[in-house]
Amino acid sequence: MSAVTTVRGEEELFARTAHLFATASEVTCAARDLNTFAVSRHTHHGLVQETRPKVRKLYQPAMLLNPSGAQHVRTVAAHGAQVRVTGDDINETIIIDRRFAILAGDLSDGLRSYSVVTEAAVVQNVQSLFDAAWRSGTELAVYDAQHADLTSLAPRVLELLASGCKDETAARTLGLGVRTYRRRVAELMTALGAESRFQAGIRAHELGLI
CB-based contact 151:52 (threshold 8 Å): no
Q: Assess whether pLDDT exceeds 90 at residue 42.
A: no
Between CA 4 and CA 105 the distance in angstroms is 13
CB-based contact 45:171 (threshold 8 Å): no
Instruction: Please name each of the domains of the chain with its CATH number.
Output: 4-140 (3.30.870.10), 147-206 (1.10.10.10)
pLDDT tens, 96-144?
A: 999 999 999 887 777 889 999 999 999 999 999 999 999 999 999 999 8
Q: In what order do the strands lie in the sheet with 138-139?
A: 4-8, 111-117, 100-108, 93-96, 26-31, 54-59, 82-85, 138-139
% of the chain exceeding 90 in pLDDT: 41
pLDDT tens, 61-77?
A: 888 887 778 888 888 89
Q: What is the pTM of this model?
A: 0.79
Confidence of residue 58 (pLDDT cuts 50, 70, 90): very high
Confidence of residue 193 (pLDDT cuts 50, 70, 90): confident
Q: How many CB atoms lie within 10 A of CB 111?
A: 14
